[in-house]
Amino acid sequence: MAHYAVPTPRRRRGRPSGGDSGTRERVVSAAIEEFGEHGYDGATMRGIAARAGVDAALLHHYFGTKADLFGETIGAPLRPDLAIPEILERPRDEIGEAIVRYLLEAWEVPETRKRGIVLLRSAIGNKLATPLLAGFLSRELIGKIAARLDTPDAELRAALVASQVAGLLIARYVLRLAPLAEASVDDLVAKLAPTVQGYLFD
């Protein structure tokens, strides 16, 4: 079974690796305000640039897409919006297992798990963070899965996948419910992959 490393956005030719820290901090601060006021869907790179007092092209130069900037703004421990499209290119009968394995193996990395737990705890029930994270996942994750499915209820199916894996991550890593917290990744993949596969294609 293939193992998926956490992907990173491709760096554009000539794109600085670090850039001016003051400018980057100003942009991230502006992004936090813009996302907070308008939500993920309503915020624009142009609006963030105007708030930060920089040219919009600079944002794309330093950060890439709006999803990339949002990921840096919230300190996302992994980027499923980048990994899932690759997984969806696999043979159809492998996709459910690949999604579950990718997420579990990523969260088994201590630093990813630590940051992920902080993000989940801060997002659940927070009137600002909850809709922001939901908007990001709806457009960048659920939307991409739904686009791969050729059914009228594609968005519902994709949302069910998201609910399944989100519930698993919360129960295993945040609540640490036994025996979920003690189960091996292979055991969980074997038991959950058919459910995810069924949401997608049955």
- For the chain, the structural domain boundaries read 21-74, 80-201
What is the Cα Rg of the chain in Å? 18
Higher pLDDT, 79 or 16: 79
| Highest mean pLDDT pick, 22-31, 56-65, 139-148, 157-166 | 157-166
Question: Distance between CA atoms of 97 and 128, rounded to whole angstroms?
Answer: 33
Question: Distance between CA atoms of 201 and 194, rounded to whole angstroms?
Answer: 10
Q: What is the pLDDT of residues 145-157, one digit of tens each?
A: 998 898 999 999 9
21-74: which CATH architecture? Orthogonal Bundle (1.10)
The CATH code that applies to domain 80-201 is 1.10.357.10
Q: What is the pLDDT of residues 72-127, one digit of tens each?
A: 776 666 777 788 889 999 999 999 999 999 999 989 988 888 878 877 776 776 66
| 30 Cβ contact list (under 8 Å, min separation 6) | 48, 49, 51, 52
**Residue with token string 């968005």:** 155
pTM equals: 0.67
